[in-house]
Amino acid sequence: MTTPPAHYGYGFVGYQNLHNDIYPAITASITPALQQPGKVVLVTGAGRGIGRSIALQYAHASVAAIVLCARTSSELDEVAVSIQKINSTIRVHKRPIDVTKDDAVKTLAQDVQRDEGRLDILVNNAGASAPWVHLTASDSSSWWNTFEVNLKGSYLFLQAFLSLLVLTAEKGNTTVDVVNVSSMGAHVVSPGASAYQISKLAVLRLSEFVNVEYGAKGVNTVSLHPGGVPTALGTQEESIRPYLIDTAELCGGFVVWLTAEPRTWLAGRYVSATWDVDVLESMRDGIVKEDKLKMFMSV
């Protein structure tokens, strides 16, 4: 496997400090500092793969409630059962939903406000990708649907839930978290991948806007590369299959670590689930001082 260019960010913490699977520092079941009792978490795309793993790792973190969102009810049923096996005290809300539908997302926000009265963590994980073909061979509906899911879906959940997130931060005099799942692909221009990579690049900038507009109100927003995970979505493209070497559990644990304490030094920035968290912490001052892990044009 060839070494990616530096601007991909893959080796930011050093190639010797990369992980492919969950490890003790991000494993809530064995690391007390990752426990997050009382918190309410919402995860989109929670029915399988990365979203499922994120939800299960939050169950290990003993949160108060998890709102599971996905299009397939049977998948949500399985995840809910798995959560209850881990921790039967967690309140689980299952919502079959199309993240691109404005009214459905607004109704969900009203329901969460009514049922829980708070939201501490929003994970915009739902994703899609059109087939990787050149522009003239692409199907316009499939190409645009990638933007609808990856970008519009994240926007709609932010639009609907930011008020509740801010209210939660104000009432608790604390920090709440938004994790927008992007991709290392946001830094790449691969022939055929225009819909996926452009939409994930837009997610990075969207996170920066949330930080600029709501960071001072207690909302800590981070863009996340989940790693190269062999999900149903990722394995559709044959050319990237050799790079899908990371487990979904790695991302799940990393997200739990992100929200275990106020990591406002990462606000508006891009991070990768493959990066060792202790090494990342050691780089904190340099990241802030030099304003690293954001999108800039080199001139």
CA 179 to chain centre: 4
In terms of phi and psi (left: phi > 0; alpha: psi -120 to 50; beta: otherwise), the region of 281 is alpha
CA 178 to chain centre: 8
Rounded Cα distance, 134 and 141, in Å: 15
Half-sphere exposure of 148 (CA within 13 A, CB side): 12
| Among 152, 200, 214, 270, the one annotated catalytic | 200
CA 114 to chain centre: 25
Asked if residues 259 and 61 have their Cβ atoms less than 8 Å apart, the reply is no
Rounded Cα distance, 167 and 161, in Å: 10
| Among 196, 217, 270, 289, the one annotated catalytic | 196
Q: Is 270 a catalytic residue?
A: no
Rounded Cα distance, 299 and 296, in Å: 9
Residues ≥6 apart with Cβ < 8 Å to 28: 34, 35, 36, 57, 58, 60, 61, 62, 253, 256
Question: What's the CA angle centered on 159, arms 172 and 206, to 5 degrees?
Answer: 100
- Is the torsion defined by CA of 40, 154, 260, 274 positive or negative? positive
Q: Is 200 a catalytic residue?
A: yes
Residues ≥6 apart with Cβ < 8 Å to 144: 195
Active site residues: 196, 200
